[in-house]
Amino acid sequence: MHTPPSAAGFAPAKAVPGIPPATYHDPGVFQTEEERVFGRCWIFVGFTDDLVQPNDWLARRIGGLDVMVQNFDGELRAFRNVCAHRFAIIRRAPRGNGLLRCGYHGWTYDRDGRPYGIPGNEAHFGLDRAGRCSRALPPVAVETCGRFVFLRIAAEGPSLVDWLGPHADTLRHASEIFIRSFDEREMTWEANWKMGVESVLEVYHADTVHPTTFRKLVKGDWRCDYVGPHSRGVTSVSDPSARWWDGVAKRLGFQPSSILREYDHLHIFPNLEIGFTRGSVMSVQTYDPLGPDRCALRLRLFLADPGGLKGYGKGGAAARRMIEDTARDLNVALLREDQEESEQAFRGVRQTDTAALLGRNEERIQHFHAVWRNAMAMNGR
């Protein structure tokens, strides 16, 4: 059985070297990472909102493998997304609705991944029941926490709730507050996925990189805590920003979270980042590897909903749209700022053998590296 990655050996230190520079760009390291990190951890792929109707499906690439999850009469099931006939990728878009049918020769699969519809079966293949079963698509583990959907390539490992630890409660809570997404987008960064993750694990760069965006939002005090492979960072929302958001909540009549009152940021190892602003906005990001030197940042933004989804009253819908536009513009602007720095750092990391120096104010990156090293079994390297 695969051992899930842990933070064994981690203790925040004043300053420690980061992982070797080559680990950000070496193709061999990337290959190992796909197997040992992405192939073994629960990976967030989307929300149950995308899988509400029978035959709704999502497709992703995890650990170098094409996988898909589909609603079969109300039950989510996930499979490898490679046709058992002659290797075609079955689901070729990120999402959709329809029978699980391969576009190459039309083999159609059932809820157990078995091909039940094979054009010309009797004449050309003669597959009986046992033969069809032997051609079933390999299953992939799927579990949900609230409306968050996760897949795991490895057949064995901890349950999702065990994996998430106390953060499972946060995800369930957030699932009740943040019902409707108001923006969804994908951006390609010319940087290793770890650089994307690291860009959101510290606020040291807020003054220099985000003087007019993130820095205005928060006070910059930063409290971190760690559970297993995951980490959390909290900073107080600035007074003007807190007043603004409280006014928005009152104006729109929505109920912000009573627990997530500051800027609360969760990192769910390896690549899921969730930021909450004053309990009113939720930003969900993944940095999905596209290769050693590129990653896809997938972003989804939510605003808290009015209790019971009642209307907003006169002018409320327009006001909400205005707030959503403001929140979207802010989030996109600060991600562009992070993209610029991450891409520059990725250019730089290929020109050195000297590891980064991670200060005490970058302790979440120290933690991330400890977990990553354990996952890769690279301690001491």
Point out which residues bind ligand FES (CB under 6 A).
Answer: 83, 85-86, 88, 102, 104-107
CA distance 142 to 77: 7
Residue 104 binding result from ligand FES, Fe ion, none, given CB thresholds of 5 to 8 Å by partner type: ligand FES
> Looking at beta carbons only, is 88 or 168 nearer to ligand FES?
88
Report the nearest approach of ligand FES to the CB of residue 105 (Å).
Answer: 3
Report the nearest approach of ligand FES to the CB of residue 55 (Å).
Answer: 18
CA atoms within 13 A on the CB side of 325: 6
Report the nearest approach of ligand FES to the CB of residue 135 (Å).
Answer: 10
Site track 191-230 with Fe ion (rule: CB under 5 A), x = hit: ----------------------------------------
Name the token pair of 131: 């033969």
Helices 316-349/239-252 angle, 10° precision: 140
> Looking at beta carbons only, is 92 or 223 nearer to ligand FES?
92
Other residues' Cβ atoms within 10 Å of the Cβ of residue 331: 21
- Total binding residues toward Fe ion, as defined by CB under 5 A: 1
| Residue of 224, 166, 179, 175 whose CA lies nearest to 200 | 224
> Looking at beta carbons only, is 104 or 360 nearer to ligand FES?
104
> Looking at beta carbons only, is 83 or 197 nearer to Fe ion?
197
- Interface stretch with Fe ion, choices 8-16, 19-27, 258-266, 332-340 (CB under 5 A): 332-340
> Looking at beta carbons only, is 157 or 275 nearer to Fe ion?
275
> Looking at beta carbons only, is 125 or 204 nearer to ligand FES?
125
> Looking at beta carbons only, is 175 or 213 nearer to Fe ion?
213
Ranges within 42-81 binding Fe ion (CB under 5 A): none
Report the nearest approach of Fe ion to the CB of residue 334 (Å).
Answer: 6
Residue 338 binding result from ligand FES, Fe ion, none, given CB thresholds of 5 to 8 Å by partner type: Fe ion
Name the token pair of 325: 């536009």
Question: Cis ω on the peptide bond leading into residue 292 (within 30° of 0)?
Answer: no
Report the nearest approach of ligand FES to the CB of residue 130 (Å).
Answer: 19
Report the nearest approach of ligand FES to the CB of residue 133 (Å).
Answer: 17
Site track 290-329 with Fe ion (rule: CB under 5 A), x = hit: ----------------------------------------
> Looking at beta carbons only, is 61 or 85 nearer to ligand FES?
85
Residue 251 binding result from Fe ion, ligand FES, none, given CB thresholds of 5 to 8 Å by partner type: none
Indicate if the alpha-carbon torsion angle 197, 70, 75, 49 is positive or negative.
Answer: positive
Q: Report the residue number whose CB is nearest to Fe ion.
A: 338
- Report the 3 state secondary structure along the chain: CCCCCCCCCCCCCCEEECCCHHHHCCHHHHHHHHHHHHCCCCEEEEEHHHHCCCCEEEEEEECCEEEEEEEECCEEEEEECECCCCCCECCCCCEEECCEECCCCCCEECCCCCEEECCCHHHHHCCCHHHHHHCCCCEEEEEEECCEEEEECCCCCCCHHHHHCCHHHHHHHHHHHCCEEEEEEEEEECCCHHHHHHHCCCCCCHHHHCCCCHHHHECCCCEEEEECCEEEEEECECHHHHHHHHHHHHHHCECCCCCCCCEEEEEECCCEEEEEECCCEEEEEEEEEEECCEEEEEEEEEECCEHHHCCCCCCHHHHHHHHHHHHHHHHHHHHHHHHHHHHHHHHHHCCCCCCCEEEHHHHHHHHHHHHHHHHHCCCCC
Residue 111 binding result from Fe ion, ligand FES, none, given CB thresholds of 5 to 8 Å by partner type: none
> Looking at beta carbons only, is 56 or 273 nearer to Fe ion?
273
Report the nearest approach of ligand FES to the CB of residue 103 (Å).
Answer: 7
Report the nearest approach of Fe ion to the CB of residue 244 (Å).
Answer: 21
Report the nearest approach of ligand FES to the CB of residue 138 (Å).
Answer: 15
338 binds Fe ion (CB under 5 A): yes
Using CB under 5 A as the criterion, which residues of the chain lie in contact with Fe ion when the complex forms? 338
